[in-house]
Structure 1
Amino acid sequence: MSTPDYKTMTTAQIREDFLAFFEAKGCTRYPSSSLVPDDPSLLLANAGMNQFKEYYQGTKTMDGPGACSCQKCLRTNDIDNIGDPRHLSFFEMLGNFSFGGYSKADAIAWAWEFITSPEHLGLPPERLHMTVFTDDDEAAELWCAQGVAADHITRLGEEDNFWAAGPTGPCGPCSEIYFDQGEEFGCGSPDCAPGCDCDRYLEFWNLVFTQYDRQEDGSLPELPHRNVDTGMGLERIAAIMQHKGTNYDGDLLSSLITVGERLSGASYGVDAARDRSLRIVADHARAVTFMISDGILPSNEGRGYVLRRLLRRAVYHGRLMGVRGAFLTTYVDEVTRLMGQTYPALVESHALIEGIVRAEEGHFGTTLDAGEQSLASELSGLAADAELAGAVAFKLHDTYGFPIDLTREISDAAGHEVDMAGFDACMADQRERARAAANRDAWGSFNNVWSELSARLVPTQFDGYDHDELEGCRVLALVVDGASVDCAHAGDAVEVVLDRTPLYAEMGGQCADTGALAAPHATLRVTDVQVKEGLYAHAATLEEGSVSVGERVVASIDRGRRELVRRNHTATHLLDAALKAVLGPHVSQAGSLVAPDHLRFDFTHFEALTPDELERIEGMVNAEIFAAEPIVTRVMPLAEAKASGAVALFGEKYGDVVRVVSAGASETPFSRELCGGTHARNTADLGLFKIVSESSVGSNARRIEAVTSMGALEYVDEQLAVLTQAAHLLKCRPTDLVERIESVRDQARDSAKKLRDALTGAGAGAPAAAGGAERTLDCGAYTCVIVRRDGLDSQGLRELWDSIREKADGPVACVIATRTPEGKVALLAAGTDAAVRAGFGSGDLIRKISGLVGGRGGGRPNMAQAGGSDASGIDAALDAAATELSH
């Protein structure tokens, strides 16, 4: 087929043209939702319809005919296919949607207009093909009405052209649009047509018409209103509009492949294996960049595990391309350059994304090295020509992120094949678990009591910023044991929904208020408040009387508790600002807990804080407290808040109007954040800020726990009490504690050295330790000393070996066992280089005897160690060593 005679468009042009086209049809343009969906049944956003789920279900309604969006999506259920010319992990999905607004006929007519009109895509009609569901005569007729030739319409069955939310529920036929890339892309079969597995007919737009409600008996009654859900892969249509053959040849991904060419020195299109690695790194690097920008951090479960797996796979394929050292931040820079204007979060979080990627990449490089060592150890224990067990290969993959390709390559070089059937079985089990987690029904189950209440009640109005008590709050609903009731009685555990409330619900890390509800004939003690479907659910115990829906109550908070919470919440804002000032702009809040007695603050950082850094951070917060700055709250548009420099929580979603909390009344306050929580009125209210602990909560996150106000006073009192008690025990004044402790430490070290010298024989004329035993074996070319010396630790074992080696006249080895001071067992086997050359192997020997003391261990031929828990087996282990060496 000749060169296409249609125009060329960039990805950015296609994206904007699509959205503007449907806006002109009356659809509302929606920004992409986060990759972290609001829907708890989804791990990651994987389709444009995710954010419109409640509109399809009818629990929400939309003004106008429909919506359109360009949605960030991520799918990894077919991760092993990613890197072929078609599959991607991250992609953008263009979509237009109707929730009973415009019709099926409109959707088909508009799709045809957009793809064929010269003002838009302008694709040649003769190269367009449609598929419809076998029984969907309506869709076929609608396409014909647009001028599509009958032989360009293919009917496919339920597997290809019928969408369903599950065995029952919303469902309907699909119609897919294909582009004929030409015979050179085809399989050569005379039956080749849309739906064929070859690359000739490329599907790029799917129109789903959700119009039925499938019943248990299989019947398909019509839904109350018909819905339209379409999805057009932006990368696919970009490749078509740029006259390219695959997703990876479009302008965005080809730019990322160029980065790989530059880093590796390879040329794309020369070597198939190298090309696949170039595609994988380009795809995964883009996915990782977007995931972190949406607040996902690497971890060993859930979304964080998906992120970590993609990042590690990219690092591995970088190694396959010959790239050594850290390199992924180069891709992060390019992704930000290419897509930052469309997705500003990439720019706003750039320093953080780079920091996390750099730290995770460095950590995995070490892990990859450890995996290589583990594999080498496994291979060394195999008999000649034996297979490496599939379970071992899978463990390397799952524990170290060690790719199977690398396992096979290293194993082959060592003369061993890998049991791929066993490995594939383990992988299949893991994929099934992952598929169940990542591909759960996108519709989920929303038909519970809270979705029903939300559909008929207005959201609860929180009015607790300036009020500790509100009169006349109307009871809108009562829920007992998961069911809506009209009346609750004494002794019931009830969830109460009010039209307005002063009690803060648990949100943003701040714990919920507690308090009371006083009804005309009842008293309720509130122990928790949670937001459920926009309604404040006051968890309460009905202590006396009864309460009914429609009654008016007086709602009040525990004032003293709220005051402590306020102070700790303001402290988290001051702490966040101090962390950024001391550590750098990559610091971002990764979680928090604001309770009455303490606060916990998680933040992105890549190493432990030094004592000096902690001292500076604590000092900066206390300086703001002592400056007695007012806490100023303003409500303003989101754009204005960001322009003012207000800090937004990483990965958090905000509405068009936000609440901004500033510590200080000036134009440049110490802290300014978007926040809906409750706060102190003045920094001086906090009294004192003390950091209690700093620790790790992951490879890229740290945690600070701190106290303020009464909690800080209690903490200081506790520390002073400990100092006083320690001084009493050491018989000195508290001011002399350091000097006294140093003296005691020096004495203890001296005593410990004398004891070790006695046990190891290192001291002049030192006697043998009590209970000690020793024998010497003549092993031909070397001598082996077998010793038991109880009371040593691992360091003592090594020192005893040093003593034996120094006193020996020729090649010597040893096997030493001890019952440690803690009652455990430590074993050591070691030999000089000459003894090892003569056949002594420490690692093999330790592996054979360590089971007799309830332990395991290993090491190099010249030294190996093991620990154990069964001291009664020490003598048996030494006897077994003697027997082994005597053979």
Structure 2
Amino acid sequence: MPSALTASQIREAFLKFFEERGHRRVASSSLVPANDPTLLFTNAGMVQFKDVFTGREKRDYSRATTSQKCVRAGGKHNDLDNVGYTARHHTFFEMLGNFSFGDYFKADAIAYGWEFVTKTLGLDKERLAVTVFNGEGGVPWDEEAYELWAKQGVPRERVYKLGMKDNFWAMGDTGPCGPCSEIHYHQGNDIPCVEEAAGKPCQGVACDCDRWLEIWNLVFMQFERKEKDAPLIPLPKPSIDTGAGLERIASVVQGKRSNYETDLFQNIIATVSQLCGKTYSQEGGASMRVVADHSRAAAFLIADGVQPSNEGRGYVLRRIMRRAIRHGTLLGLEDVFFFKVVDRVIDLMSDAYPDLRQNRTFILEVCRHEEASFRETLNRGLKLIDEEVSRMKGSGEKVLQGDKVWDLHSTYGFPWDLTEIILRERGFGVDLEGFNKKKQEEADKNKFTGSGDKGVGDVYLKLVEKLGPSEFLGYEGEGHEGEGSLRAIVKDGVEVTEANTGDKVELVLDRTPFYGESGGQVGDTGRIVGHGGKSVAQVKDAQRPVPGLVVHSVEVTEGTFKVGDMVQAGVDNERRKSIRANHSATHLLHKALKLVLGEHVKQAGSVVAPDYLRFDFSNFSPATPEQLEQVEDLVNGWIRDNAAAETRIMKLEDAKKSGAVAMFGEKYGETVRVVTVHPESTELCGGTHVRRSGDIGLFKITSESGVASGVRRIVALTGIGAFQYLREQEHELRRAAALLKTNPKELSKRVEATQKRIKELEHKVEELAVKGSSAGSKDLLEQAREVNGMKVLATRVEGADDNILRGLADQLRDRIRSGVVAIGGEKDGRAIILVAATKDVVAKGINAGALVREMAKEVGGKGGGKADMAQAGGPDAAKLPAALDKLYELVKGAGAA
């Protein structure tokens, strides 16, 4: 093959090479790990096969090859701050991999790797070297790999031995582990070396310089460690895990010294260059690299369902996007631009990753919304920085305190590094040590401890391996009763052989009509009966702790159950019918939202219970009442059609091609259930559903609200629940009409008239209060003090609200002529503080906003405003006197400065 392969050609060549050698081509898994809740993002090719390597999961193939999308931008693997400034660091990258699950081992893995690199890619053998494990920590050196590389024709002097740090891999303190072997490519001795710069010799393949570039890593999983620091035990079926970064291989094949010089990035950088009107060679190359890299990460993370937020994965995405946007502003891009770069990424990469194309509208809308929001943050942050600069000039400070930088960063979303740049331009410094201290304190509070997924106990993993999956009887016929064999009993996490009256245990049957909670649908309840009715267990819940295994949480109310008993299982069918109706309604709701709000709508979670349904979806503004009525009309219309529901078992790829909607976060097998509740709605779903759309009865939305940035939530009812809700609303309407002595049809007119009358009365009361305050303002002025040549008044007014305090502050400021006025009051247990300053003292450096922020700390609150008028509030009204007294101290300090 020619040497100047594109990255896409390299990816395809790799996958085809291993397909031809008996490997199953497996699609990349999501960037949100499905089988490791402790991992922030998928960061290696083996993540989706973790349970296969450990034996927890069985697949119908023993060889696999993938091009796995990965992100390293948070948690342990965090390269974010280096991205754009080095040749190899990225937030998003692709890892090419070939895997053997107890099939071939070192000989074939080494032969495959050498053949692909030297023959398929055509790399010069004279520029290649390999490494093997040298033996360390009681583990023998990998002589077998050493000899196998020599057998491939690699000169022994170019087979280097490295230690644990570089050439030994472990999943953790315990579990599978083994030596590694790497292929390195020599880029040239003209590349600078940090060791030589320090007067030491270059360390070759072990050096941190880029003269030798690792392009291939073979992990030989041949041991297992049962306990920490325990001796290694040989695995009965050693396995292979290969990782080869596409970006690195592309740079070598295309003769580039930097990954950013390859076609993977140059096409994206060209878009950035066109948008900003600058060439890549000009100043700003680092910023262009940042935007290009981060646009790839954003596109793929959003496609996998991650949305910008202030915690967890969403926070990492937000930081990536805001970093890119900030670098865009450094390039002179003042208008919303980032979505245009992301759109180019979708064009370039959707052939390999079709999910990008399928979710294009949604991805671009998220990017557009986040940038528009962040640009507002930038404008707000600049105003706050202006206030701080004004304050520092007045006080003579030269460095902005770390807690102030943190407040800008955490409260207002203003990047700390941008704060530093702006202040440096204005001749001020930033207390980065104090900022980092606050940052670390917050990081310690908010460490990523998992995605919230339920931990899986080993007992269930062993059960599913020993017993196989539970056969679910709930799809056929009535589906709420069936006979099964009691295969296992679990009590307090341990297998037992029997359960007696009063015991709370978990029962596992070979066949069950009970649906185990999954996909948002709650588990069934009911009862299990044995010994001709002499033994009874009330089923409180049914769960699916591992795929395929249904576990019944029960309380034995009569008799004894023993492993091996034949039992009759019966689901609470009325409850099941309500669940089925609500589940089918979520499918219709999903389709209706897409039609009314747009195709960007994506399911972001659901709860299907017997008494309600909850549906979370992506949208960047609240649905209007008119839109919600449209949604209700569509769903109820489809219900009235009484269309027959249809279920088909299909291959996953065929189902997606047919237009069936797949849910984010669900892990699908190679065959899937495709449910059509109505011709308008077809989704992949393993839940239980109605036989006809008319069985839903009635659909009524009870609320629509926001739950996160860009995520809305609808709660709705169906059937008898919806009818009862409407009846209750009718009763409330009649009661309200009776209280206002009118009929329901005239209620809104009567309420409007009543509200108008109330406002008129409130206005009259306020006028009287202001007049009273005005009359007393002359007496208040007598309390003013002389501080640094200006009049200062801080006083408390009882029984006044915000408007009255503001009016009084204006009057006192006008009458004091030159000075500062602070008025405090209490409303509903909270302290209110107004500070007003005359124009002449503002010109001298007095800032009402800065003063009120410091006073607010006394009452446990925050505040702000303009230099001549500002307001604050706080929960501790008892400290209001101390807050008001502080004004004199603050003005004195400002004047002295």
TM score, norm. by length of structure 1: 0.91
Percent identity reads 45
SS of alignment partner, residue 399 of structure 2:
coil
Aligned to 1:48: 45
The residue number in structure 2 matching 1:597 is 611
Say whether 1:253 aligns with 2:265: yes
Q: Deviations over 1:552-608 (max 9, x none)?
A: 111111111111111111211121111111111101111111111111111110001
How do 1:676-825 and structure 2 match up within 5 A? 676-761=686-771, 775=782, 777=784, 788-802=796-810, 808=815, 814-820=821-827, 822-825=828-831
Shift of the 192–844 alpha-carbon distance from structure 1 to 2, 3 Å rule, reads closer
Q: Could you give the per-residue CA deviations for residues 735-777 of structure 1, whole angstroms, max 9, x where no partner exists?
A: 22212211211111111111111111299xx9769x9966464
Q: Match for residue 298 of structure 1?
A: 308
**Preserved contact between residue 390 and residue 421 of structure 1 (Cα < 8 Å):** yes
Structure 1 pair 856–12 and aligned structure 2 pair: CA distance change class (3 A): closer
Residue of structure 1 equivalent to 2:417: 405
TM-superposed CA distance for 1:841, in Å, is 4.1
In the TM superposition, 1:378-397 aligns within 5 A as 378-382=388-392, 383-397=395-409
State the Cα distance separating 1:91 from its structure 2 match. 0.9
- 2:221 maps to what in 1? 210
Query: Secondary structure of the equivalent of 2:29?
Result: coil
Asked if the contact 1:759–1:789 (Cα under 8 Å) also holds between the matched residues in 2, the reply is no
| Aligned residues of 2:184 and 2:215 also touching (Cα < 8 A) | yes
Paired residue type of 2:160: T
Contact 1:479 1:495 in 2 (8 A): yes
Partner of 1:479: 490
Q: Which residue in 1 is equivalent to 2:206?
A: 195
Q: 1:110 — aligned with what?
A: 112
Cα 1:138–1:424 change in 2 (3 A) is: farther
RMSD over equivalenced CA pairs, Å: 3.0
Question: Do the aligned partners of residues 644 and 449 (structure 1) sit closer, same or farther apart at CA in structure 2, a change above 3 Å counting?
Answer: same
Residue identity matched to 1:462: F
Contact 1:296 1:651 (8 Å CA) reproduced: no
Distance in 1 (CA, whole Å) between partners of 2:60 and 2:630 is: 53
* 89, 102, 107: which one aligns with 1:87: 89
Using the TM superposition, give the Cα deviation of residue 433 of structure 1 relative to its aligned residue in structure 2, in angstroms: 8.2
Q: Secondary structure at the match of 1:510?
A: coil
For 1:128-143, list aligned pairs within 5 A.
Answer: 128-134=128-134, 135-143=141-149
Alignment match, 2:376: 366
1:20 equivalent in alignment to 2:16? yes
Name which of structure 1's ranges 182-191 and 359-368 shifts more when overlaid on structure 2. Answer: 182-191
Question: 1-side partners of 2:660 and 2:455: how far apart?
Answer: 37
Residues 756 and 792, structure 1, Cα contact 8 Å, conserved in 2: no
Q: CA shift at 1:232, angstroms?
A: 0.5
- The equivalent residue for 1:170 is 176
The whole-number CA distance in structure 2 between the counterparts of 1:854 and 1:404 is 25
Give the drift of 1:213: 2.6
Pick which of 822-831 and 374-383 moved more: 374-383
Contact (CA 8 Å) 2:457, 2:493: kept in 1 or not? no
The amino acid that maps onto 1:251 is D
User: Secondary structure of the equivalent of 1:728?
Assistant: helix
Seen in structure 2, the aligned counterparts of structure 1 residues 395 and 743 have a Cα distance that, compared at 3 Å, is closer
- 1:801 Cα offset (Å): 4.0
> Are residues 703 and 841 of structure 1, via their aligned partners in 2, closer, same or farther at CA, if it must alter by over 3 Å?
same
Pick from 853, 866, 869 the counterpart of residue 863 of structure 1. Answer: 869
Structure 1 residue aligned with 2:68: 71
Q: 1:404 to 1:869 in 2, by over 3 A?
A: closer
Q: CA deviation at 1:397?
A: 3.7
Whether the 8 Å contact between 2:481 and 2:571 is mirrored in structure 1 is no
The residue type equivalent to 1:78 in the other structure is D
After TM superposition, the structure 1 = structure 2 runs for residues 435-454 of structure 1, keeping only pairs within 5 Å, are 437=449, 448-454=458-464
Counterpart residue number, 2:137 = none
Change (3 A) 1:774 1:372: same
> What SS does the corresponding residue of 1:96 show, helix, strand or coil?
strand
Where 1:334 maps in the other structure, the secondary structure is helix
Aligned equivalents of 1:411, 1:332: Cα separation in 2: 31
Q: Offset at 1:478?
A: 1.1
Measure how far apart 1:456 and its partner are. Answer: 1.2
Q: Indicate if the aligned counterparts of 2:501 and 2:558 stay in contact, CA closer than 8 A.
A: yes
1:523 matched to 2:536? The reply is yes
Report the alpha carbon displacement of residue 790 of structure 1 after superposing the two structures with TM.
2.9
8 Å contact kept, 2:859–2:874? yes
- Where 1:697 maps in the other structure, the secondary structure is strand
Q: Does 1:610 align with 2:624?
A: yes
Please give the per-residue CA displacement for 1:428-480, whole angstroms capped at 9, x wherever unaligned.
Answer: 6677888875899xxx9977111111211111111102334433311111111
* 8 Å Cα contact 1:164-1:171 kept in structure 2: yes
Shifted more, 108-117 versus 831-840: the winner is 831-840
Q: Does the 8 Å contact 1:774/1:787 carry over to 2?
A: no
Match of 2:835 among 829, 833, 852: 829
Query: Could you say what secondary structure the match of 1:184 adopts?
Result: coil
CA distance in 1: counterparts of 2:107 and 2:875, whole angstroms: 75
* Alignment map for 1:171-570 (pairs within 5 Å): 171-187=177-193, 190-214=201-225, 218-271=230-283, 274-382=284-392, 383-425=395-437, 437=449, 448-465=458-475, 466-520=477-531, 521-533=534-546, 534-570=548-584
Q: Using the alignment, how far apart are the partners of 2:633 and 2:479 within structure 1? A: 33
Deviations 1:285-341 (A, max 9, x none): 101111111122222222222222211221122122221222121122111111101
CA distance in 2, matches of 1:583, 1:439: 29
User: Is the Cα contact below 8 Å between 1:774 and 1:786 reproduced in 2?
Assistant: no
Gaps of 5+ in 2: 135-140
Task: Report the Cα offset of residue 673 of structure 1.
Answer: 2.0
Q: Distance in 1 between matches of 2:152 and 2:447?
A: 40
Change beyond 3 A, Cα 1:65–1:607: closer
Post-superposition Cα deviations, 1:701-733, rounded to whole Å, max 9, x if no partner, equal 111111111111221122122222222322222
Q: Which amino acid aligns with 1:508?
A: G
Cα deviation for residue 684 of structure 1 reads: 2.5
User: Residue type of the partner of 1:363?
Assistant: S
The question of whether the paired residues in 2 share the 8 Å contact of 1:475 and 1:549 is answered with yes
CA–CA distance in structure 2, aligned partners of residues 515 and 776 of structure 1: 76
The answer on whether the counterparts of 1:602 and 1:701 sit within 8 Å (CA) in structure 2 is yes
Alignment-mate amino acid for residue 695 of structure 1 = S
Distance in 2, matches of 1:144 and 1:609, equals 67
Give the one of 7, 12, 27 matched to 1:11. Answer: 7
Name the CA shift for 1:828/1:526 in 2 (closer, same or farther; >3 Å).
same
- Specify the code of the residue in structure 1 equivalent to 2:317: L
State how far apart, in whole Å, the 1-side matches of 2:696 and 2:843 are: 70
Quote the Cα distance in structure 2 between the aligned partners of 1:122 and 1:762: 92
- Check conservation: 2:482, 2:512, Cα contact below 8 A: no
Distance 1:176 1:774, change over 3 A: same
1:755 to 1:449, Cα distance in 2 relative to 1, 3 A: same
Residues in 1 aligned to 2:724 and 2:450: alpha-carbon distance in whole angstroms: 46
Measure the CA separation in 1 of the matches of 2:146 and 2:443: 38
Q: For 1:268-288, what per-residue CA distance to the aligned partner results, in whole angstroms no more than 9, with x for missing partners? A: 2333xx222211111111011
Give the partner amino acid of 2:753. Answer: S
Opposite residue 630 of structure 1, the aligned amino acid is: A
| AA of the residue aligned to 2:34 | D
- Structural mapping, 1:123-162, within 5 Å: 123-134=123-134, 135-162=141-168
Residue-by-residue CA offset, 1:87-123 (whole Å, 9 max, x unaligned): 1111111111122211211111121111111xx1111
Aligned residues: 867
CA 1:399–1:867: 2 relative to 1, 3 Å: closer
Q: Post-superposition shift, 1:847?
A: 4.3
How far apart, CA to CA, are the structure 1 residues paired with 2:573 and 2:442? 51
